[in-house]
Amino acid sequence: MRLKVAWRLLVIQRALVRHGLDEYVRETHLFRPMRFLLLLSPWTWFQRIRGVSRGERLRLALEELGPIFVKFGQALSTRRDLLPTDIADELAKLQDRVPPFPGEQAQAAIEASLGGPVQSFFDDFQPTPIAAASIAQVHTARLKNGTEVVVKVLRPGMHQVIRRDIDVLHALAGLADRYWAGARRLRPREVVAEYEKTVFDELDLMREAANAAQLKRNFAGSSLLYVPQVYWDLCRRDVLVMERIHGIIISRIEELKARGTDIARLAENGVEIFFTQVFRHNFFHADMHPGNIFVQVDDPKNPRYAAVDFGIVGTLQERDQHYLAENFMAFFDRDYRRIASLHIESGWVPRSTRLDELESAVRTVCEPIFNKPLAEISFAQVLLRLFETARRFDMQIQPQLILLQKTLLNIEGLGRQLYPQLDLWKTAQPVLRAWMRERVSPLSMAKQLRRQLPDVLQAARLLPAVFQSVTREAAEGRFALSVHSTELQELRDEIRRGHRRRDSVLLGVAIWLGGATALVVFPWAPLLGWGLMIAGTVVAAAHLRARA
């Protein structure tokens, strides 16, 4: 395995040299002696690609190195504000113009998966693909009932290719973790592990079909986003069949304008869709580069997005979702102390961080960007300054938020291309405020209580036995833990924890009994009784968790 990784690193360097990208090789700190052998090798120089622009050389190198590197180029292509125009134009071709593999090969793979010739399932299957991406390519066809569909099929050998490059990333992350001072904060091993899960999920087209179906349900009846229909009978792990979408690719801005599209409304709708997915649905399309987004302009004044390619979606834990929303709202309100406090509470920065210092640093970064249109804001500079602030306060990268961060960058890139005057915050703020109001509304709390009621009833049935066991232990004084250390301070700490544990259990039991009594005495106020019983159960359960 190590030999394969080392060989792959050499192949990467050779490809960069061959495409005239020597500066990247000179910055590489791995295999330094071999690096110069590559640069001086006549074989490398004779194969050197000449006479093409730097943007094309970079694109060709990424295509040669495979899907992991193509995806990197796709992400870069959405940030035209950060790239020279010639490089941005070339990298944009990676969205849907990756060289295809032969149509006969694709047809054979489809027939092997579906268990019969394509003529048995489709009329007019087209062997020539309409789009080719880094992991799969797409063909058009027509079902027997006349419905136009697209057929997505994985590239041959994708699992082996991805596995090889993921191993390379793991090796690089391991070296960074060992030798790089910033590794503890950036957590490269966890970042690669998170990316590994994401990219292998993308290789399962049944998962992509399920993602599309979920997103379609979430936006059922919406005028903002259209999601194509999945034809489940024709879907397999390496084949996906869904309704064909007709529309204008979002990057063709001049064509959209020529059709009379309301560009400002289109840009605002994109922001609303993103925040709705992240906070209201907690299920968001996380691969929103221009090649995956179409615009339907049947009504130019009310343009509608249409999405494709659902291989990468993101969700957040409720805790992270809450902290993100609170951070956004605090940012909108310029409450920098709240932002600093949230970062400490969430554990994103060490708890020893001084609140006033972090507040001042956040204010310094955020204050200059207010009251400016998007065209006048350099988010690249903001991110760089936040990065510097992060280093100062030892802020750690949160791997579970990487997809969200990537999607935010994509959204900003699309927004900048569509409508530079877009007020991102004005568009997003109402969505966030409505979501936060819903979370604390009586109806939402009642629904949550109803969902948790079976668990509460089960806990209530078990609580008398737990209460009997706990009171017996308390009466016999068996709350103390075995302590093998001779250190006096450790002994004192254990005694204090034992006392707190005992007190919390007794308090929990008392609260639970109070709730049970309230249900009997005040039957017209069940929420009071159930609330006390839930609180008592939680407090008592803390004892069991501590013992475990």
CA distance readout (Å), 469 to 160, 349, 481, 495, 544? 55, 40, 16, 20, 11
Asked if the structure places residue 208 within a domain, the reply is no
* More confident site: 256 or 12: 256
**Cα–Cα distance for residue pair 58/87, rounded to 1 Å:** 8
pLDDT band at 99 (very low <50, low <70, confident <90, very high): confident
Share of the chain residues as helix, strand and coil, in percent rounded to the nearest 5: 65, 10, 25
**Cα–Cα distance for residue pair 521/519, rounded to 1 Å:** 6
Beta bridge partners of 295: 248, 305
pLDDT(483) > 50: no
Least confident among 28-32, 96-100, 255-259: 28-32
Residue 214: count of CB within 10 angstroms of its CB = 14
- For residues 192 and 315, membership in a common domain is answered with no
Asked if the structure places residue 147 within a domain, the reply is no
Asked if the structure places residue 212 within a domain, the reply is no
For the chain, the farthest-separated pair of C-alpha atoms sits apart, in whole angstroms, at 93
Domain boundary among 423, 440, 457: 440
Asked if the structure places residue 220 within a domain, the reply is no
Query: How confident is the model over 495-510, as a mean pLDDT?
Result: 62
Query: How confident is the model over 362-371, as a mean pLDDT?
Result: 78
Asked if the structure places residue 222 within a domain, the reply is no
Residue 429: count of CB within 10 angstroms of its CB = 17
Of the segments 92-96, 210-214, 358-362, 531-535, which one has the largest average pLDDT value? 210-214
CB 510 within 8 A of CB 474: no
- For residues 507 and 446, membership in a common domain is answered with yes
- For residues 446 and 436, membership in a common domain is answered with no
What is the predicted pLDDT for the residue at 346? Answer: 79
**Cα–Cα distance for residue pair 291/114, rounded to 1 Å:** 27
Q: Which of 167, 287, 298, 394 is catalytic?
A: 287
CA nearest neighbour of 426 among 372, 363, 379, 359: 372
What is the predicted pLDDT for the residue at 209? Answer: 96
The DSSP string of 444-470 is HHHHHHHHHHHHHHHHHHHHHHHHHHH
Half-sphere exposure of 223 toward its Cβ, with a 13 Å CA cutoff?
A: 9
Domain residues for the domain of 448 are 442-547
- 270-322, pLDDT tens digit by residue? 888 988 998 889 999 988 777 789 999 999 999 999 999 898 888 888 888 88
CB 251 within 8 A of CB 89: no
- For residues 475 and 432, membership in a common domain is answered with no
CA nearest neighbour of 286 among 379, 410, 428: 410
- For residues 34 and 167, membership in a common domain is answered with no
- 340-354, pLDDT tens digit by residue? 888 888 777 888 888
**Cα–Cα distance for residue pair 488/491, rounded to 1 Å:** 5
- For residues 397 and 507, membership in a common domain is answered with no
**Cα–Cα distance for residue pair 364/372, rounded to 1 Å:** 16
Domain boundary among 183, 200, 217: 200
What is the predicted pLDDT for the residue at 548? Answer: 44
Residue 476: count of CB within 10 angstroms of its CB = 8
- For residues 86 and 170, membership in a common domain is answered with no
- For residues 283 and 396, membership in a common domain is answered with yes
* More confident site: 444 or 54: 54
Asked if the structure places residue 151 within a domain, the reply is no
- 526-548, pLDDT tens digit by residue? 666 666 667 666 666 655 444 44
**Cα–Cα distance for residue pair 406/398, rounded to 1 Å:** 12
> Beta 225-226 vs 304-307: how paired, if at all?
parallel
* Residue that is written with structure tokens 């994708």 in the block: 158
Instruction: Provide the token pair at 330.
Output: 């605090």
- 510-521, pLDDT tens digit by residue? 676 666 666 555
What is the predicted pLDDT for the residue at 45? Answer: 47
Beta bridge partners of 307: 293
- For residues 406 and 282, membership in a common domain is answered with yes
Of the segments 352-356, 434-438, 499-503, which one has the largest average pLDDT value? 352-356
- For residues 57 and 18, membership in a common domain is answered with yes
Asked if the structure places residue 399 within a domain, the reply is yes
Which three-class secondary structure state does DSSP give residue 486? coil
Tell me whether residue 287 is one of the annotated catalytic residues. yes
Q: How many domains does the chain have?
A: 4
What is the predicted pLDDT for the residue at 517? Answer: 65
| Burial class of 58 by CB neighbour count within 10 A (0 to 12, 13 to 18, 19+) | buried
CB 364 within 8 A of CB 334: no
Domain boundary among 65, 92, 119: 92
**Identity of the residue numbered 97:** R
- For residues 292 and 404, membership in a common domain is answered with yes
- For residues 409 and 266, membership in a common domain is answered with yes
Asked if the structure places residue 7 within a domain, the reply is yes
**Cα–Cα distance for residue pair 203/157, rounded to 1 Å:** 11
